[in-house]
Amino acid sequence: MIRLILSILFVISFWGLTHAIVPEVNPLIGKPSMEELEMTKYDPEPSADALILFERREEYMFYGTEGFTIKRKCTSRIKILNEAATHLGDITIPYYAPDSKNKISKITATSYNLINGKIDKTSVDRSLIFHEKLAPGFFLCKFSIPKVIEGSVIEIEYEIDCHTMTFDWEIQGEYPVLRGELDLTLPEFFSFNVTPIGSEHIELEQKVERSSMSMLNQLINCDATIIKASVDRMPSLHDDDYVFAISDYYTKLNVSLIGIQLPRQPYQPLASTWNDLSVHFHNEWNEMKKLKNPYQDQMQSLDFSDCKNICDSVNVCADFVATHLRWNGVYNTNPGNIKKAIEEQSASNAQMNFVLMSILKDLGIKCNPIALCTRSRGVVSAAASMIASSLNTMALTFIDSDNKYHFIDCSDDYRGSDALPIDMLTSFGLIIDIDNQQYHTMTTHNDVSSSRRKIDVEIIDGVAHCVSDIALTRQEAAEFQHLYHKSLDHNHFISEVESQFNIDITDLTLQGMKHRSNNVRINAKFDKAVAHTDSVIYINPMIIPEIVSNPFLAETRKVGIEFPYQEESTIVSTIKIPDGYMIDELPSALSIRDTNGELSFTYNISVSDDNIMLICRRKKLSTIFPQNVYNDIRLIYDSMVDKNTDLIVLKKK
Amino acid sequence: MKTFITRIIILTLATLSVITSQAADIDIPTIPDSLANGANSVVLSDYTTVNVISLSEATISHYRSVLVFNKKGEKHANFGATIDKYTSIKKLTGTLYDSNGNAIRQIGKKDLTTTELSPYLASDEASCTHSFDHPTYPYTVIYEWETSISGYLITFPSFVPIRYDSQSLLENEYKIHLPTSMKLNYKVCNTVPVISNEEVSGWNTYTFRIPKTPAIKDDSYLPNTNEIVPLIHLNPGVFEVSGIRGYSDSWKNIGIWLTKLMEGRDQLLPEDVNSLKALTAQYPTPREKAKAVYELLRNTTRYVNISLGIGGLRPEKASDVKARGFGDCKALSNYMCAMLKALDIPCDYAVISTEHKNVLHDFASLGQFNHAIMRVTLPGDTIWLECTDPTLPFGYIHDGIAGHEALIVDGENSHIVRLPMPKHEIQKREYKYYVEFTTDGCGYSHIEENYSENYFEKNRMLKEITRQETQDNIREKTGLSTALVVDFKYVENLSNQSVCSYIYTIFAPKFCKQSEKRMYIPTNLFKTDISKYTDYQRILPIVMTDKHEVYDITIRIPSGYKLESLPSNIEVSSPIGQFTQTAAVTDDLIHITQTIKIPRGEYDASLSPQLAELTQAIYDNMNALIVLVK
Instruction: Check if B513 contacts A (Cβ < 8 Å).
Output: yes
Which whole number is the average pLDDT over A569-579? 97
DSSP string over A225-293:
EEEEEEEEEEPP----TT-S-GGGGS-EEEEEEEEE--TTS--EE---SHHHHHHHHHHHHGGGGG---
- Answer whether B534 sits within 8 Å of A47, measured CB to CB: no
- Answer whether A327 sits within 8 Å of B517, measured CB to CB: no
The Cα of A267 is separated from the nearest Cα of chain B by a number of Å equal to 40
Instruction: Check if B565 contacts A (Cβ < 8 Å).
Output: yes
- Answer whether B515 sits within 8 Å of A646, measured CB to CB: yes
Q: Give CA–CA dist A628/A606, Å, rounded.
A: 36
DSSP string over A423-475:
GG--S-EEEEETTTTEEEEE-S----EEEEEEEEEEEETTEEEEEEEEEEEHH
Residue in chain B nearest A130 by alpha carbon = B122
Which whole number is the average pLDDT over B475-490? 91
B62 pLDDT exceeds 60?
yes
- Answer whether A128 sits within 8 Å of B324, measured CB to CB: yes
- Answer whether B517 sits within 8 Å of A584, measured CB to CB: yes
Residue B151 gets the label, from left (phi > 0), alpha (psi -120 to 50) or beta, of left
Helix axes B270-280, B286-300, angle to 10 degrees: 120
Instruction: Check if B132 contacts A (Cβ < 8 Å).
Output: yes
Which residue type sits at B289? Answer: K
Give the model's pLDDT for residue A379: 80
B502 pLDDT exceeds 90?
yes
Burial of A148 (0-12, 13-18, 19+ CB in 10 A): buried
- Answer whether A150 sits within 8 Å of B510, measured CB to CB: no
Contact residues for B447 (Cβ-Cβ < 8 A; gap 6+): B431, B432, B433, B502, B503, B504, B505, B506, B525
Which residue type sits at A215? Answer: M
- Where are any strands of DSSP class E within B17-132? 41-54, 57-68, 79-83, 87-97, 103-108, 113-115, 122-123, 126-130
The per-residue pLDDT for range A357-371, each reduced to its tens digit, is 999 999 999 999 999
Please state which architecture CATH assigns to domain B246-418: Roll (3.10)
A91 pLDDT exceeds 60?
yes
Checking DSSP bridges between strand B167-179 and strand B41-54, what pairing results, if any?
Answer: parallel
The per-residue pLDDT for range A273-310, each reduced to its tens digit, is 777 778 888 888 988 988 999 999 999 999 999 899 99
Chain A residues near residue B113 by CB distance under 8 angstroms = 135
Q: How far apart are the first and last CA of chain B?
A: 116
Give the model's pLDDT for residue B20: 41
Q: Give CA–CA dist A403/A436, Å, rounded.
A: 18
The partner residue sitting opposite B619, judged by closest CB among A132, A328, A502, is A502
Closest by CA to B594, choosing from B511, B533, B532, B527, is B527
Chain A residues near residue B299 by CB distance under 8 angstroms = 149-150
Q: Give CA–CA dist A95/A111, Å, rounded.
A: 24
Which whole number is the average pLDDT over B97-106? 94
Give the model's pLDDT for residue A17: 45
Which whole number is the average pLDDT over A508-519? 89
Give the model's pLDDT for residue A16: 46
The Cα of B564 is separated from the nearest Cα of chain A by a number of Å equal to 8
Q: List, as own/partner pairs, every contact residues A121-128 make where C-beta atoms lie below 8 angstroms and the sequence separation is at least 24, other chains included.
A: A122/A146, A122/A147, A122/B323, A122/B324, A122/B325, A128/B121, A128/B122, A128/B306, A128/B324
| Choices 3.40.50.2030, 2.60.40.3140, 3.40.50.300, 2.60.120.1440: CATH for B33-224 | 2.60.40.3140
Chain A residues near residue B22 by CB distance under 8 angstroms = none
Closest by CA to A417, choosing from A568, A518, A520, A308, is A518
Element (H, E) at B200: strand B194-200
Q: Give CA–CA dist A71/A184, Å, rounded.
A: 10
Instruction: Check if B134 contacts A (Cβ < 8 Å).
Output: yes
B580, B621 contact by CB (below 8 A): no
3 state SS of A390 = coil
- Answer whether B536 sits within 8 Å of A495, measured CB to CB: yes
Cα dihedral A37, A39, A45, A51, rounded to 10, equals 0
- Answer whether B304 sits within 8 Å of A83, measured CB to CB: no
Mutate to test the interface with A, among B536, B568, B618, B625 (most CBs of A within 10 A): B536
- What are the residue ranges spanned by the domains of chain B? 33-224, 246-418, 424-629
> Which span out of A212-216, A288-292, A347-351, B525-529 was modeled with the highest average pLDDT?
A347-351
Contact residues for B220 (Cβ-Cβ < 8 A; gap 6+): B531, B533
DSSP string over B426-471:
G-EEEEEEEEEE-TTS-EEEEEEEEEETHHHHHH---S---HHHHH
Among A436-450, B309-323, B369-383, name the one with the lowest average pLDDT.
Answer: A436-450
Burial of A525 (0-12, 13-18, 19+ CB in 10 A): middle
Give the model's pLDDT for residue B22: 61
A609, A571 contact by CB (below 8 A): no
The per-residue pLDDT for range B614-625, each reduced to its tens digit, is 999 999 999 999
- Answer whether B117 sits within 8 Å of A140, measured CB to CB: yes
Instruction: Check if B187 contacts A (Cβ < 8 Å).
Output: no
A10 pLDDT exceeds 70?
no
3 state SS of B577 = coil
Beta bridge pairs of residue B95:
B106, B142
B385, B396 contact by CB (below 8 A): no
Which whole number is the average pLDDT over A58-87? 91
Helix axes A310-324, A349-362, angle to 10 degrees: 130
CA angle, residues B588, B591, B592, in degrees to nearest 5 = 150
Which whole number is the average pLDDT over A459-483? 96
Q: What is the pTM of this model?
A: 0.91
How many contacts (CB atoms, under 8 Å) link A and B? 154
The per-residue pLDDT for range A524-535, each reduced to its tens digit, is 999 999 999 999
CA distances from B193 to A464, B142, B159, B196, B577 (A): 54, 24, 11, 10, 37
B464, B482 contact by CB (below 8 A): no
A566, A449 contact by CB (below 8 A): yes
Which residue type sits at B573? Answer: S
Closest by CA to A66, choosing from A129, A136, A137, is A137
Residue B284: phi and psi, rounded to 5, are: -75, -30
Q: Give CA–CA dist B30/B19, Å, rounded.
A: 31
The per-residue pLDDT for range A228-268, each reduced to its tens digit, is 999 999 999 999 889 999 999 999 999 888 888 888 889 88
A289, A434 contact by CB (below 8 A): yes
Q: How far apart are the first and last CA of chain A?
A: 84
Instruction: Check if B516 contacts A (Cβ < 8 Å).
Output: yes
List the 320-359 stretch of B: residues with Cβ below 8 A of A: 323-326
- Answer whether A90 sits within 8 Å of B217, measured CB to CB: no
Give the model's pLDDT for residue B488: 93
Among A214-223, A250-259, A450-459, A489-498, name the one with the lowest average pLDDT.
Answer: A214-223
B32-49 burial, b at 16+ Cβ within 10 Å, e below that, comes to: eeebeebbbbbbbbbbbb
What are the helix (H) ranges across A132-240? none
- Answer whether B481 sits within 8 Å of A549, measured CB to CB: yes
Give the confidence band of A386 by pLDDT, cuts at 50, 70, 90. low
The predicted complex's ipTM stands at 0.90
The partner residue sitting opposite B534, judged by closest CB among A135, A498, A538, is A498
- Where are any strands of DSSP class E within A97-217? 104-115, 118-123, 129-135, 138-144, 153-162, 166-170, 177-187, 190-197, 203-215
Chain B residues near residue A149 by CB distance under 8 angstroms = 299-302, 325
Chain B residues near residue A638 by CB distance under 8 angstroms = 481-482, 510
Helix/strand/coil (H/E/C) assignment for every residue in B371-431 = EEEEEEEECCEEEEECCCCCCCCCCCCCCCCCCCEEEEECHHHCEEEECCCCCHHHCEEEE
Which whole number is the average pLDDT over B411-424? 94
Closest by CA to A208, choosing from A222, A195, A218, A196, is A222
| Choices 2.40.50.100, 2.60.40.10, 2.60.120.1130, 3.90.600.10: CATH for B424-629 | 2.60.120.1130
Give the model's pLDDT for residue A3: 58
Instruction: Check if B465 contacts A (Cβ < 8 Å).
Output: yes
The per-residue pLDDT for range A613-641, each reduced to its tens digit, is 999 999 999 999 999 999 999 999 999 99
What is the Cα B157 distance to its own chain's centre? Answer: 20
The partner residue sitting opposite A144, judged by closest CB among B304, B533, B534, is B304
Mean pLDDT, chain A, as a whole number?
A: 91
Residue in chain B nearest A497 by alpha carbon = B534
Q: Give CA–CA dist B567/B423, Å, rounded.
A: 31
Q: Give CA–CA dist B136/A508, Å, rounded.
A: 28
The partner residue sitting opposite B481, judged by closest CB among A491, A553, A649, is A553
Among A144-158, A388-402, B79-93, B337-351, name the one with the lowest average pLDDT.
Answer: A388-402
Q: Give CA–CA dist A600/A621, Å, rounded.
A: 9
On the question of a cis peptide bond just before residue B138, with omega within 30 degrees of 0, the verdict is yes
Q: Give CA–CA dist B459/B399, Å, rounded.
A: 13
Residue B331: phi and psi, rounded to 5, are: -65, -45
- Answer whether B117 sits within 8 Å of A84, measured CB to CB: no
Instruction: Check if B75 contacts A (Cβ < 8 Å).
Output: no
Closest by CA to A379, choosing from A219, A549, A250, A186, is A250
CA distances from A535 to A185, A306, A583, B463, B581 (A): 82, 52, 12, 52, 23
CA angle, residues B584, B587, B590, in degrees to nearest 5 = 35
Chain B residues near residue A47 by CB distance under 8 angstroms = 463-466, 469
What is the Cα B166 distance to its own chain's centre? Answer: 20
Give the model's pLDDT for residue B7: 53
Q: Give CA–CA dist A449/A416, Å, rounded.
A: 12
Chain B residues near residue A133 by CB distance under 8 angstroms = 115-116, 126
Mutate to test the interface with B, among A130, A298, A505, A583 (most CBs of B within 10 A): A130
Chain A residues near residue B297 by CB distance under 8 angstroms = none
The partner residue sitting opposite B565, judged by closest CB among A133, A327, A531, is A531
- Answer whether B105 sits within 8 Å of A344, measured CB to CB: yes
Q: Which domains does chain A have, with CATH numbers?
A: 13-265 (2.60.40.3140), 274-442 (3.10.620.30), 449-652 (2.60.120.1130)
The Cα of A645 is separated from the nearest Cα of chain B by a number of Å equal to 8
Residue B70: phi and psi, rounded to 5, are: -155, 180
Q: Give CA–CA dist A453/A574, Å, rounded.
A: 11
Instruction: Check if A549 contacts B (Cβ < 8 Å).
Output: yes
Q: Give CA–CA dist B94/A389, Å, rounded.
A: 35
